[in-house]
Copies of this chain bind each other. A is one copy, B any other.
Amino acid sequence: MPAVDLPEIEFWFDFGSTYSYPAAVNIEKLAEVHGLAVKWRAFVLGAIFQEQGWPDSPFNIYPLKGRYMWRDMERICQTQDLDFNRPTTFPRNGLLAARVTSAAEGAPWLGSFVRQIFTANFVLDLDIADIDVVRSCLEVLDLDPNPILDAAAAKENKDALRTQTDRAKQLGIFGAPTFISNDEIFWGNDRLGQAITWAKRDA
């Protein structure tokens, strides 16, 4: 069964986004069960926040929302038996990891890489903007990091990520994670199941 025939679910995420972490852990398994192909769409959420007048994560700007989110993340990860440690820096800059994701579109190891980066940020409390951290996330998958990091740093790839963030804006995306399923937007980790079902509506 060639992957090209499967209905798709687009997963739009930022590596600094807390709720993107459980979604990233779960989406590939769920998609497989339901016969869907995952399209990994990293983007720069900060650029969208800035257009809404937020120079920082709304979880930092609005302390009540922030306090709730951290407790909510604990509960979600406990329920799912998922390791979670509140990062000492939030939000972390996921630009480099997003560039790797963009450069590696279609690679069979991409889902594993995405999960490694989220684990680095939200379990190991590592600075995912540090190229050595990104390098180790590739090495642990038995990949040679150098050609991948070179491709990530190429001008065409930087432009491709910028275009992808622009596309997020055009799609009306305002937060992460967001799923695009059958041309409709579903926002938030707790909508993953609904987005999966929606992808199969006309299938």
Contact = CB atoms under 8 A, between A and B. Distances in A.
Interface of A: 52, 62, 64-65, 67-68, 71-72, 75, 172-174, 184-185, 187-188, 190-191, 194
A185 B69 CA distance: 10
B52 A187 contact: no
A171 to B, nearest CB: 10
A161 to B, nearest CB: 21
Contacts of A194: 75
Contacts of A188: 190
Contacts of A190: 188, 190-191
Contact of A62 (B52, B65, B75, B187): B52
**Within the oligomer, what is the number of copies of this chain?**
2
A75 to B, nearest CB: 8
Contacts of A172: 64, 67-68
A201 to B, nearest CB: 11
Nearest to A178: B68
Contacts of A75: 184, 194
Contact of A187 (B68, B184, B187, B191): B68
B184 A71 contact: yes
Contacts of A68: 172, 174, 185, 187
Contacts of A64: 52, 172-174
Contacts of A191: 190
A187 to B, nearest CB: 6
20 contacts: A52-B62, A52-B64, A62-B174, A64-B172, A64-B173, A64-B174, A65-B174, A67-B172, A68-B172, A68-B174, A68-B185, A68-B187, A71-B184, A71-B185, A72-B187, A75-B184, A75-B194, A188-B190, A190-B190, A190-B191
Given A52-B64, A71-B184, A71-B185, 5 more contacts: A64-B172, A67-B172, A68-B172, A68-B174, A188-B190
